[in-house]
Amino acid sequence: MSSIVVQFLNGLAGASTLFLIAVGLSLIFGVTRIVNFAHGSLYMLGIYIAYSAVGAFGAAGALGFWGAILAAALAVGLFGALVEVLILRRIYQAPELFQLLATFALVLMVKDFVLWAWGPEDLLGPRAPGLDGAVAILGQRFPEYDLFMIAVGPVVLGLLWLLLNRTRWGTLVRAATQDREMVGALGVNQKWLFTGVFALGAFLAGLGGALQVPREPAQLFLDLTAIADAFVIVVVGGMGSIPGAFLAALIIGEVKAFCIGLGNVTLLGVEVSFSKLTLVIEFIVMAIVLVVRPWGLLGRPQAAQRAAPTHIEPPLRAALRGLAAGAAVLALALAALPLTGAAYTVVLMTDILIFALFAASLHFIMGPAGMVSFGHAAYFGLGAYGAGLVLLRAGAPMEVALAAGPLAAALGAAVFGWFCVRLAGVYFAMLTLAFAQIGWSVVFQWDSFTGGSNGLVGVWPAAWLSSKSAFYLFVLVLCGAGLAALRRILFSPFGYALRAGRDSPLRCDAIGIDIKRLQWAAFTLVGAFAGTAGALYAFSKGSLSPDLMAIPRSVDALVMVLLGGVQTLAGPAVGAAAFTWLQDTIARNTEYWQSLLGATILIIVLAFPQGIVGSLARLGTRAEAE
């Protein structure tokens, strides 16, 4: 009984931390509609700044410690306000996905700043003065600071309720959450309202991080961990619902605590490791909630929103001949690349071709189908592991293994997509992320079959493709064929039906088009193309690891599509080339390559708010009109 009570209290303490991380993200999204991917970075900044501030003010005892915690949260809040004024305010008129891209650039920049300022080592702060002991609960010791954390969550929830329901500013925030345009029409200064909301959200994230100083070390990977937790809490609770975020934090905090407490349990003669489930249990909970109640526990059903059309039209006959000639010249130039003798360039171009196909497969469902996936790396990874496992475990030849990759990915996409296509918007994106993380956890922990965290090695191509040049030409043919096939499908009746379902779902339903079936078929189709890219990537590197299915790989695909532009067919390929080349070039020339890459992406977002190809095409159209 005592152990159950202690685990329950541990869950409450963890829930307070989860709530502080998520509630700021919920506020920011509710008012500004920005999916702030940098919210986890604000949490990470909070714990690092608090570590330094506590060290500086530590001589003042309890007053200095709590003053340092508050100062760290205020500093993060001020940083959030500056980000909103200097960067985000300039791109509110850009598509929402490009705003996400800008916040991803901030993630890279903040991570390198933290690395420069505090170094790569984990940093553990001191215990909180006056709360550094433990109390006896049913014969077991429980930390006093964790009892304090249990109280923090409800206190913050109460203060936010008072702020939003008993002040004029809070009334404006709630009004903006419901109808931003009407608030602006009534003469409210939206700019400063958005700044205040973003600063408050950043302050809460910084406070959540700062309060962890006595509980956990400051680490460089906290940003991605925190943003994943925040997304899960906000979606499970219901977008924009602060009480929902609190309820979701309680549920997930308790589930994670009891998974840790149960450890290994034998059920029906089978040993089940609940402790391993802690890596993915929150995503399992999110998947179950979204399948049963798509708008979250305390959220409200949202009216179907019409996706922004991408206006991808087939070129005229004369232009088509010009495009064919240009494609032939490009193909010949790429085929002649091995003749230059630059081995490294051949390897880099192999990666670019593979990622171009990967990005194009994501673009197919983002543009024509209007479905934004946050977990597209799942099918890239399934293709790689499908090929690698057939090659190494079944002893099949490389050609058979390569064919198994896209089949495995298509099967996974068919299973996951059956659930995902029943949702829309952010909820669809988050369910794809949940399934991707579930797949990643299986691969990461199945040591006897997938190699676990060590992955698989020895995934080499056949003898006739053993040279880098031969394999490059093979990749050029397959990826070129894949890109051409996606383009052909896009301008087929299937592709037009997908766009019709995206733009006018009610009309499609009225004339008998089964939109969900079309979307499911598209989801499965792009899974096969992503799996082809993954299988080729595995053979190009000779090994594979669970990182191929992790969140950063999915983010890379999103960045590639958005950098190039969602509105054009060439966008994903150009974005993949630009991102891969920038990442490789910058990483080889500086230690802090992530900050330079982030700054470059941010400049591109500000200069080309429609993506590189999309913005250039718009400039060309405008020049012709003039």
Residues 82-139 have pLDDT tens digits of 999 998 888 877 777 778 888 889 999 999 999 999 999 999 888 888 888 888 887 7
Place of tokens 């966008």: 571
Are 147 and 86 members of one domain?
Answer: yes
Has this prediction a pTM greater than 0.75?
yes
End-to-end CA distance of the chain: 79
Q: What is the domain-level CATH number for residue 40?
A: 1.10.3470
Q: How far apart are CA 508 and CA 514, in angstroms?
A: 8
The tokens for 270 are 């089978």
Residue 314 lies in a domain: no
Are 350 and 233 members of one domain?
Answer: no
- The C-alpha angle with vertex 274 and arms to 272 and 279, in degrees rounded to 5, equals 130
Does the pLDDT of residue 15 top 70, yes or no? yes
The tokens for 282 are 């929150």
Residue 337 lies in a domain: no
Angle, helices 222-237 vs 425-445, to 10°: value is: 130
Residues 424-436 have pLDDT tens digits of 888 898 899 999 9
The pLDDT of residue 264 is: 65
Query: What is the mean pLDDT of the segment spanning 540-545?
Result: 92
Residue 45 lies in a domain: yes
Domain count, the chain: 2
Are 348 and 278 members of one domain?
Answer: no
Residues 588-600 have pLDDT tens digits of 888 888 888 888 8
Are 100 and 198 members of one domain?
Answer: yes
Are 249 and 373 members of one domain?
Answer: no
Res. 183 pLDDT band, cuts 50 70 90:
low
Least confident of 172-176, 290-294, 346-350: 172-176
Q: How many CA within 13 A on the CB side of residue 392? A: 21
Residue 106 lies in a domain: yes
Does the pLDDT of residue 276 top 80, yes or no? no
The tokens for 51 are 């570590």
Are 258 and 364 members of one domain?
Answer: no
Residue 336 lies in a domain: no
Are 220 and 360 members of one domain?
Answer: no
Are 86 and 200 members of one domain?
Answer: yes
SS3 state at 120: coil
Are 248 and 365 members of one domain?
Answer: no
Beta strand 542-544 with 456-459 is: antiparallel
Query: What is the mean pLDDT of the segment spanning 341-346?
Result: 82
Look up the domain containing 77 and give its range: 2-292
Query: What is the mean pLDDT of the segment spanning 549-561?
Result: 91
Are 351 and 234 members of one domain?
Answer: no
Residue 319 lies in a domain: no
Domain boundary among 292, 315, 332: 292
Does the pLDDT of residue 525 top 60, yes or no? yes
Contacts of 538 (CB under 8 A, 6+ apart): 383, 384, 385, 387, 388, 405, 459, 544, 548
**C-beta atoms surrounding 88 within 10 Å:** 23
The pLDDT of residue 307 is: 45
Are 422 and 518 members of one domain?
Answer: yes
Place of tokens 């349990």: 265
Domain boundary among 222, 257, 292: 292
Residue 300 lies in a domain: no
Q: SS3 letters for 177-246?
A: HHCHHHHHHCCCCHHHHHHHHHHHHHHHHHHHHHCCCCCCCECCCHHHHHHHHHHHHHHHHCCCCHHHHH
Q: Check if the beta carbon of residue 381 is closer than 8 Å to that of residue 549.
A: yes
Contacts of 336 (CB under 8 A, 6+ apart): none
Are 271 and 390 members of one domain?
Answer: no
Does the pLDDT of residue 532 top 50, yes or no? yes
Domain boundary among 292, 316, 334: 292
The pLDDT of residue 106 is: 93
Nearest alpha carbon to residue 474 among 337, 343, 350, 381: 350
Res. 494 pLDDT band, cuts 50 70 90:
very high
Q: Check if the beta carbon of residue 446 is closer than 8 Å to that of residue 385.
A: no
Residue 298 lies in a domain: no
